[in-house]
Chain A
């Protein structure tokens, strides 16, 4: 089907690949709201120049609700980005190389998720003021 482009045919027979297919769309929809609003807040409402580490840690992330939303965004984007790259790798590699790169992607995805989670939960003054 050339009409939709970027679209993968829905995997047949259920299982892991079908779950990934649905989750790519679900996280994509979530990121449509979360990532676009995040970009608008950090680049239109605010300017990058004013968002110093101190400001992020003591102002923006003083709000636990904002940190919760940021963590949901981190979860969605880690899955969506790494599974998306996995699709690309699957298209251009095969055999042992594909397995190797895919496993490296899963590992890197876990590291990214852990680093982002660490940043979010290690903020001093965890209780809302």
Chain B
């Protein structure tokens, strides 16, 4: 597939994941700006959309969005570090692993908090 044609190893994976997560976030931004515009022009319709966001499938989507956002943010930071301090590319494997450690340390508890209402009921 065209996304995985680029060399190999961590660099290629990072590049492909950055692209996929970025595109996914862009799609959500389109939806998100539309929904917040809706909140100002038609609050009733917005609240109906909110029910979808707060539903079980909506929460799975939000957890996936959070994963895309967190990966894109951490990997973006890594790109900035390597771009402006090229000497640090000696440690690129270490930085890449640190990315994933932070990703799971932060991401798993957040995903749990987002998904919990599915089995515990919606907090009010």
Residues on A close to B: CB < 8 A?
Answer: 1-7, 10, 25, 28-29, 31-32, 35-36, 39-40, 43-44, 47-54, 56-57, 74, 77-78, 81-82, 84-85, 88, 92, 108, 112, 115-116, 118-119, 122-123
Contact = CB atoms under 8 A, between A and B. Distances in A.
Interface residues of B, number: 59
B15 interface: yes
B26 interface: yes
A92 B19 CA distance: 13
Interface in B6-54: 6-15, 17-19, 22-23, 25-26, 29-30, 33-34, 36-41, 43-44, 46-47, 50, 53-54
B108 interface: no
A112 B80 CA distance: 27
Interface of B (DSSP majority class):
helix
A51 B35 CA distance: 12
Contact of B43 (A1, A54, A112): A54
B35 to A, nearest CB: 9
Contact of A2 (B7, B34, B80): B7
Interface of B: 2, 6-15, 17-19, 22-23, 25-26, 29-30, 33-34, 36-41, 43-44, 46-47, 50, 53-54, 58-59, 62, 66, 69-70, 73, 75-80, 82-83, 89, 92, 110, 113-114, 117, 122-124
A40 to B, nearest CB: 7
A45 to B, nearest CB: 10
A33 to B, nearest CB: 9
A64 B78 CA distance: 33
Given A4-B92, A25-B83, A53 B34 contact: no
Contacts of B12: 2, 5
B2 A92 contact: yes
Contact of B83 (A7, A44, A85, A116): A7
A14 to B, nearest CB: 17
A76 to B, nearest CB: 11
